[in-house]
Every structure is written in structure tokens, then in C-alpha cells.
Structure 1
Amino acid sequence: MANARIVWVDDEIESLKSQKMFLEQKGYEVITFANGYDAIEYIKENRPDVVLLDESMPGISGLETLAAIKEIYRSLPAVMVTKNETENLMEEAIGSQIADYLIKPVNPNQVLLSLKKILDNKRLVAEKTTTAYQMEFRNLFMALSDNPDAEGWPEIYKKLTHWELEMEKTGSPEMMEILQSQKQEANSAFFKFISKNYLDWIQAGSGNRPVMSPDLMKEKVVPLLEAGVPTFFILIDNLRFDQWKMIQPLLEEDFRLTKEETYYSILPTATQYCRNAVFAGMMPLEIAEKFPGQWKNDEEEGGKNLQEEEFLTAFIKKLQKKDIKYSYTKVVGNQDAQQLVSGIHNLLHNDLNVIVYNFVDMLSHARTEMEVLKELAGDEQGYRSITKSWFEHSPLRQALKKIADRKIRIVISTDHGSVQVKTPYKVIGDKQTTSNLRYKHGKNLNYNSKDVLAFKNPKEGGLPLPHVNSSFIFAKEDGFLCYPNNYNYYVNYYKNTFQHGGVSMEEMIIPVIQLESK
């Protein structure tokens, strides 16, 4: 960062003339003061880029000077340059939010390096990230060209997510555009992969396919159950893999990450299908046949996810492990959340505690309706950011912190993800056609077959038949399904909102995470 202004405060400033000249030769403007008072007065009128501070000065110490400066400019970076190596001073300086700590005598290059780290950090990170992604671009391109299988696709998606999060730090719109283009290509290839393989997976059944919604409990939760070690299975509704990466550092403050995996959501990637399949351990068709009174199709009145606890009970009974003590808790509002916080210790007596937390799904639906959320989560970065902010201050995090000192296991997962929709596809249907944006079912659907994955016989896809001759269609990539009437209004209303129900990596390749006590 050429021409950056440095304020250097030291009562022996005369002895640092050679250091000052060295920095000026490197393009920095260096203003020097022999005491803290003069430096503070100067900084009130002239905001520098960095302050270098000695600690031991007559009149006012370096830490006192720092405190006064932080009152003027809270975010102004400061570097302590001092002979004092005592641990107490270091801790106090770090507590005062210094950017760096240098011990005298200092080498001119040492000071330069510290300044570069503070002032050029973003540029250096951006350059390195861009170079690294350019090298990885070809590898990802080759991986996509190599017909990835069910195990290969999650690896590609994880890598794209990694680079998306890294690229955000660079602030480079050009590189982000290239990455988004590669992600689009990947989603296009993923749609073809799912179109070709999905029905075979359903017919093959568990054991002969990748882990899918009905397999999740059996494969990823039940094997962890151990006497004396409570397992908490937390299903955060509609949590994408990138959103998991945002809350991961917060969870790792209290717990140790032991496994980070993904599994495949079934179609449609919608709560009533996926979540019921998770807890029943069955495809929706089988649930509808075995629990005809409890299963509701899209167009039927009433809640579609009110029987999860009953499905879970039946699933555990089928395991023939009568001694499993379990609980089921559903959080759909603040009152439920506060009850979870106050009662979390009571759950430690169980082998398995299932907690369904509905926040992220409410956020994605509310984001369509509420202008405030459209502002906050107008793009992918905003959507991730609001998820992180929610978890950081959430009752769920408070509850987990309360039991972090106990020997427990945690599995965090979800039922489906979501995708930001941008491309409208026209669909014509009769009155019984469902209103969902990423999938529809009805008797006389008229659509462009290139835009969707269609199940002419839903039973082959493990789905109940709402009406005779009903078929299901699922939007591909970033598409959303609109009727011709009021077409432009609905296109503008829903464009760039986050939806789920269709076929995309974001909706179908979803996290299943294991953590344990530290």
C-alpha cells in the first residue's frame, strides 16, 4: 500500500532515523512524535493508516496512548514496538487489540513486514487466492469432464464451495464471475448425472446407492449410539454445505469436529418429503402406504410435517433396540428455542436426542416475502452471512454451550438445501397443479422437457401418486417454474430468491457432520 501514512511514537525517536528513512524509501509517509500527547493531538485531525507505539515513555505510556487513540478511531491498527518482553504487557497489549507486537531492537525489514501484513493483507490474499484458483480451475474442469460418480460429485461441490468462500475475501468480481460460470457448468452436468442415475438409486434400495434421506438415521446416526454417551442429532432445516462452513468455526470453539461428510437429499428437495423420509427411514411412497392417515400430499390441508415424532418412534421400534431412550424436540419459534435452552440438561439422560431446528428454512421463505430480508440476503454472500449471524446469537448455540463440558456426540445435518433461482421456465397445468416453484405435480402438465427432470410414473421415484395420471417435474440448475398468467409479475417477484424442491448441487448434496466434546 504505497503512500500509506504511518505515525511512529517513541521517546527515543531520534535513534530511529535510519528506520524512518528506510520506510520512506519504500513509499510510506512517516510522521514521528517523541510523546503520546502530541501523537494523540495530531491523530485527532489527521487519520493515519497505522500507529507504531513504544510502551515505556515519560508522561503517558504506550498503552495509555493506545487507549486514547482507540477512542478516536476504534479500528485504527496499532503495533507495539518495545523493549519490554513481560508476558503481562503482551497480554494487556493484545487485550487492547493491537495488530502486532515487535521487540526492540527491531530490524527495518521486520517493521516493513509488519506493515505489509497489516496494510497489504487483503491485496496479498487476493493475489494468492486468484493464482491458486487459476491453477485449480483446470483440475475442476478435468474432474467435470471425467464423468464423476456419486462419490465424486460431493468432492467437486465441496471444492467449488471452498473457492467461493475464498474468493469472497478477495473482493474480485471478475474472478467471482469465472467461478460462478464454472459452478453453473457443474450444476448443468450434475443435472444430467441425477437424471441418468436417480431412479436406479431408488430401485436399488439402501446399501446399493449413496446415502440418501431414508438411509441417514440408519447409516449416520444409529451406529454412533453408545451407552453413557448421549448423541444429539440436530437437523437444521434447509442448511446448505456453504452455510455449514460459516457456522463451523463457531461450533469448533466448543466441540471437536470428527467427521465432515455429505449425503444426497431425495426429490423433491422439499421439507415434507425429505424430512419425513429421514425420520421414517422410508421413501415417501412407503410412508404413504404404511401411514395413510398421517401422510398428506401437497394440495391437502394441514401441516405436512406434524408426524415426524411418530415416524421416528416407528423407525426406532423397527431397529429392535428396545433399550434406546430417545427424545424428539421441534423448534419452530422463540418460545420453543428458550425451552430448549432451559431444558437441555434434562436430555443428557437419553441415548438419542433428536432436535429439529426450523430457523434456516423460515429465513429462506421469509426472504421471499420480506423486504428487509431481501436487503440482508440479496445474494449468496448475504445469505451465508445472515446464517452465520443467526447461529452466533441463536438459542441453539446457547443450549449446546451449556452441555459442552459433558461427554456427548453431536450429528448436525439437514433435510435439503436451497438454490438462488434466476431462470424462469414456463409450465402450464390444470387447477390441481401444485404451486411450488422448483417442482410441480399434476395431471396435465405442459412444459419444455429440456428444462426439467420428469417422473411420468412417480412411484418409480418412490413418490405417492396424488391423482391417477399425475406426474412430477423438477426444475434444473437455477430455474423456477412459472405459469403463463401474470408471468412477468411472478418472474420479477421470485427472481433471485432462494428456493428448494429441484435438482441442483446446493439442494441435493447436503452436510452430515459429526462433533464430540473436546
Structure 2
Amino acid sequence: MPLASILWVDDEIESLQSQKIFLEQKGYDVATLTNGFDAIEYVKNNLVDVVLIDETMPGITGLETLVRIKEINANIPVVLITKNETENLMNEAIGREISDYLIKPVNPNQVLLSLKKIIDNKRLVAETTTTAYQQQFRELFMALNDNPDFNQWMEIYKKLVYWELEMEKSDSPEMREVFQTQKQEANTEFFKFISKHYASWVSPKSSASPIMSHQLFQFKVLPHVEKGIPTFFVLIDNLRFDQWKAIQPIFAESFRILEEETFYSILPTATQYCRNAIFAGLMPVDIEKQFPQLWKNDDDEGGKNNEEETFFRAHLKRLRKDDLKVSYHKILNHQDGQQLVNNIHNLMQNDLNVIVYNFVDMLSHARTEMEVLKELASDEASYRSLTRSWFEHSPLHQALKKVADKPIKVVLATDHGSVRVKTPHKVIGDKQTTTNLRYKHGRNLNFEARDVLAFKDPKEAGLPVPNVNSAYIFAKEDGFLCYPNNYNHYVNYYRNTFQHGGVSLEEMIVPIIKMVSKQ
């Protein structure tokens, strides 16, 4: 069976017989024709993998033939071969979506290389990816077992994300399985690491800790703000590092990416804790102390993130940055997004513009029906694809594109990530116990100690004490917390959904990206 079926169209095809024989010896089936009209008919009636077309032919030109062939089958790769090296012709050919461009005289190896790039590209990339990961596997294994510190954990997670994205190119289920096992081992070790160090990180006496949610603005955003150059701080709710990598190419079309860093989300990795901490510049226990009327615990009525702007302006005042001209916008629905698009030019007069974009709520259409999301985002790859599709067509993208030709800075971040949950753990609690799947707090929690990170005193984790004797527990790795009542129903309902609030690489190590407009 031939490697592929090639159609070569050239009015001087007789002079190319030696090249035809060379390709046939390499395993390709090569049909030859002398004009565009015959080529169009041939493509209508035959299976063709690649078309090689001479640009200058009597009758209709190669470019005209290309257009007609693409009308029959838009997916057929076409290689244009020409003596003409003018820029206009090259631009037009590329605009017509050619797969390659060769300048006459061509030698057999040039044609062979072009065919390999087009036909064998996916297979060659998959083979290379698998081989490269096999070489990297041992390095990652050694890094995991070498007692990594918080900086090294960020690097390990970035490498895991890199290989997860690369594995999408591999057609080896075995290697994907090996990778998933290694990622699982990494999360197991990461949970042990967080269990050991988290309390010391959030302690007021801490001397060595990573940048966390409550320190993000002071150390990673404000240093980039300067008067006269508008800075847009864009916080996309619930954006994992791999989701950032999915939308990075879209940002790169309009912006120059200067720094691609990560920071640690506080616990619980849930919006009402992390996002309030980011804007207040305080741990939740301190927000409650300073704003006792505004802080709301899980079991309090009302919105838990309604006071972010108040917290933020107080934060700026504390840092003596309240002379900055600042705007704050929270996008909760498509209408808010369209208003942002229409208003974006007016924000250019400010020093700092904060845009909070509730991606998760909009993605799920205000939490319509989880079954829909489970279909659309059944695994990490489809979740990334959905994120890219959402962002590409979002008002946020439209708005940023409108000012991308102006001298601006963009700092992109998130409040926390999410993890696909698979392993249920039973928890028993009283009526005051919270319903969250990845963390819970209550007075009489009954659980398996090995399944969770527990804080009997919430203040040790920098958290308020909702009720006397309240404790917090956080699910590890891919676990989720279920009550015994209707246990099987809830396990089946929530398994393989994306949740947040607990301890995992995906939830806690999240992106902070600095960009400038290409202008």
C-alpha cells in the first residue's frame, strides 16, 4: 500500500519523470497531468492526498487551478511550484491556503521533504513527542523525589503542563497513561508538601513563603503600573495554567508576552476567599477583622464577592497608591461584556483598569445544567478547547483588541484553578456543615484523616472562625467530599466534573502573565 497518492501537474511533466520514479521508489503513488483542467477533473473522481502544481501553465494558471481544487475539497494540501519569486505571488499563494511553496528548479529531496512535512507531520511529531517524554520522565521522577521547594514545585507543574499539551500530539495511549500516572504521583507529593508547609506560609511570622493571593497585587501588579501608560489588570475567574496556554496564542497575536509566571492560590481555592484576598491584600481572617460588616462566610446570606472594589480601594490607600486613577469593572454576563467593548477607549485615561471576568459562570450559562458542561468538557483537553473557543469569541477579547494598537500594559491573572474530580470521600457533618465538594467547614466533621488536609483551628490557615469549634477540611488530589445520604447518586453526578476549593497543583499553582502591546 502506498504511503500517499500524489497528483503532480506540470505542462513539462516529461522532464520530471526521474523525480516521479524517485518518489515512487520512496513508496508514494504518483499520477501526472499536464494542465489544470485535467487536474480539476482528476480530483473530482479520485482520492488524492497531495497536489503538486506548476504555477505557469497554458490554459489556466496554477493559482486558478488551486482555487478550483479547493472548491471541490478544501482539505486537500496543495504545493505550488514556480519560477516566479515575486512577493505578490507568494502572498497570494499563501492567502489561497497553500501548504508549501517550492522554487524551480526543484530537486527530488526538496519535494520529498515537502511531502513528509505535509503527510507524515502528525506521525513524526507524535513519535518525537513520545521519545522526548521518555527521556524527560526520569528527570521529572527525580525532581519529585528530591524534596522540591515552592519554586521548584512551580517549575515541576509547568513541565507537567508542557508535557500534557505535547501528549495531545501523541497517538500512544500507553505513553498518555504513563504521563497521567506521573501527574497523579506529582499531586500526591504536592499534597504532602502543602500539608507540611501551608500553615507556616500564611503565618504573620513567615520569612520564606511564595507569593500568594493576598500578596499578588503588591508584588506582581503594582510594580508594573506607571502614570501615563494605562495598565489593564484582567482577572479571569477559575483559569488554570494549561487553560492559559490554550489562549496564549490568541493574546500573542496582539501583545508581546514579557513574563509568564505562576503564584500560589490560598486555601480554600474558591472565589470568595481567593479573589477577596487578592483585592484586599489580606488573608480572609484579616479581612473579617478590618471589615466585620462586609465579610461573609459560606453560610451567610448574600453575595460573597460584592465588596471587592471596596477592599481594593482600601488596599491601595494602605499602600499609599490611592493617587492612581483607577477603574473597576466586573463582567458577570454578556451584556456587561458588550458594555466593556463599547467603553474600552474611555478607560485609556486611567492609570489602572481592573477587569474581573466571570468566565466559569458565563461558560455554564449561569450554572444552567451540569450535564451540559460534562458533555462539553469531559476531560482536560476538551476543557482547554472550550476555554480557547470561549475566549476567541468573547467580548473581553474584542475589547482588548480595540486598544491593542495603543501603548498599554496588560497583567492577566486568576483567583484559583480547578481539578477534575474522580475519587469520592465520605464526610459526616451537622446541618451547619457547608456543601462544597472540595472543602468543608463545620463543628462536628467526621472524616478519614488520610483523605484531607484538616485545620481544627481555622486561624492557622488564615481563615475566619465561622462558628465556635468550626474546623476546615480540604480534599486532596482528585478527591471530592460527599455525605452518606444519597451517596451513590452524588458520586455518579459529580464524578469527572471540574471542581475547586481543595489542594492540587491545578487549583493552587495559577498564572500571572505580563504583556505589552506590540506598539
Bin for the TM-score computed over the shorter chain: over 0.9
Deviation (angstroms), 1:435:
0.4
Query: What residue number does 1:422 align with?
Result: 422
1:176-217 CA deviation, whole Å, 9 max, x = no partner? 111111000000000000000000011145764110111001
Deviation (angstroms), 1:442:
0.6
CA–CA separation in structure 2 for the residues paired with 1:124 and 1:366:
43
Query: What residue number does 1:491 align with?
Result: 491
Query: What residue number does 2:93 align with?
Result: 93
1:288-319 CA deviation, whole Å, 9 max, x = no partner? 11111111111111110000011011111111
CA–CA separation in structure 2 for the residues paired with 1:189 and 1:433:
28
CA–CA separation in structure 2 for the residues paired with 1:320 and 1:110:
64
Query: What residue number does 2:82 align with?
Result: 82
Report if aligned partners of 1:367, 1:497 keep a CA contact under 8 Å in 2.
Answer: no
Alignment of 1:338-357 (within 5 A): 338-357=338-357
CA–CA separation in structure 1 for the residues paired with 2:205 and 2:324:
26
Report if aligned partners of 1:215, 1:281 keep a CA contact under 8 Å in 2.
Answer: yes
CA–CA separation in structure 1 for the residues paired with 2:361 and 2:425:
24
CA–CA separation in structure 2 for the residues paired with 1:415 and 1:173:
33
Letter in 1 for 2:186: A
Report if aligned partners of 1:368, 1:498 keep a CA contact under 8 Å in 2.
Answer: no
Query: What residue number does 1:225 align with?
Result: 225
Query: What percentage of residue pairs aligned between the two structures are identical?
Result: 71
- SS at the partner of 1:151? helix
Deviation (angstroms), 1:14:
1.0
> Does 1:516 pair with 2:516?
yes
Which range is displaced more, 315-324 or 115-124? 315-324
CA–CA separation in structure 1 for the residues paired with 2:204 and 2:322:
29
Alpha carbons of 1:508 and 1:205: their partners in 2 closer, same or farther (altered >3 Å)? farther
CA–CA separation in structure 2 for the residues paired with 1:293 and 1:414:
26
CA–CA separation in structure 1 for the residues paired with 2:368 and 2:509:
23
Letter in 1 for 2:441: H
Letter in 2 for 1:201: W
1:362-400 CA deviation, whole Å, 9 max, x = no partner? 436968934333222111000000001111111111111
Report if aligned partners of 2:259, 2:514 keep a CA contact under 8 Å in 1.
Answer: yes
Alignment of 1:474-489 (within 5 A): 474-489=474-489
CA–CA separation in structure 2 for the residues paired with 1:378 and 1:44:
38
RMSD after superposition: 1.4
- SS at the partner of 1:305? coil
1:331-378 CA deviation, whole Å, 9 max, x = no partner? 000111011111111111111111100013543696893433322211
Alignment of 1:151-230 (within 5 A): 151-204=151-204, 208-230=208-230
Report if aligned partners of 1:364, 1:499 keep a CA contact under 8 Å in 2.
Answer: no
Query: What residue number does 2:504 align with?
Result: 504
Report if aligned partners of 1:368, 1:497 keep a CA contact under 8 Å in 2.
Answer: no
Query: What residue number does 1:131 align with?
Result: 131
Report if aligned partners of 2:200, 2:206 keep a CA contact under 8 Å in 1.
Answer: no
CA–CA separation in structure 2 for the residues paired with 1:252 and 1:297:
39
- SS at the partner of 2:356? strand
Query: What residue number does 1:147 align with?
Result: 147
Alignment of 1:17-96 (within 5 A): 17-96=17-96
Which range is displaced more, 343-352 or 492-501? 343-352
CA–CA separation in structure 1 for the residues paired with 2:330 and 2:105:
61
Report if aligned partners of 2:268, 2:474 keep a CA contact under 8 Å in 1.
Answer: yes
Report if aligned partners of 2:285, 2:464 keep a CA contact under 8 Å in 1.
Answer: yes
CA–CA separation in structure 2 for the residues paired with 1:174 and 1:73:
35
Deviation (angstroms), 1:322:
3.6
- SS at the partner of 2:31? strand
Query: What residue number does 1:283 align with?
Result: 283
- SS at the partner of 2:169? helix
1:482-511 CA deviation, whole Å, 9 max, x = no partner? 111111110100000000000000000000
Deviation (angstroms), 1:47:
2.2
Which range is displaced more, 242-251 or 187-196? 242-251
Report if aligned partners of 2:363, 2:390 keep a CA contact under 8 Å in 1.
Answer: no
Letter in 1 for 2:201: W
Deviation (angstroms), 1:321:
2.8
Letter in 2 for 1:172: S
CA–CA separation in structure 2 for the residues paired with 1:3 and 1:160:
34
**Any stretches of 5+ residues in structure 2 without a counterpart?**
none
- SS at the partner of 1:287? helix
Deviation (angstroms), 1:91:
1.3
- SS at the partner of 1:192? helix
Task: Provide the aligned length of Structure 1 versus Structure 2.
Answer: 518
Report if aligned partners of 1:285, 1:464 keep a CA contact under 8 Å in 2.
Answer: yes
Query: What residue number does 2:334 align with?
Result: 334
Report if aligned partners of 1:459, 1:465 keep a CA contact under 8 Å in 2.
Answer: yes
Query: What residue number does 1:246 align with?
Result: 246
CA–CA separation in structure 2 for the residues paired with 1:484 and 1:222:
47
Query: What residue number does 1:104 align with?
Result: 104
- SS at the partner of 2:262? strand
Alpha carbons of 1:207 and 1:275: their partners in 2 closer, same or farther (altered >3 Å)? farther
- SS at the partner of 1:355? strand
Report if aligned partners of 2:313, 2:322 keep a CA contact under 8 Å in 1.
Answer: no
CA–CA separation in structure 1 for the residues paired with 2:426 and 2:302:
28
Report if aligned partners of 1:10, 1:53 keep a CA contact under 8 Å in 2.
Answer: yes
Query: What residue number does 1:320 align with?
Result: 320
- SS at the partner of 2:150? coil
1:15-61 CA deviation, whole Å, 9 max, x = no partner? 11111111111111111111111111111111200000011111111
- SS at the partner of 2:450? coil
Report if aligned partners of 1:53, 1:81 keep a CA contact under 8 Å in 2.
Answer: yes
Letter in 2 for 1:95: G
Deviation (angstroms), 1:172:
2.5
Report if aligned partners of 1:40, 1:68 keep a CA contact under 8 Å in 2.
Answer: yes
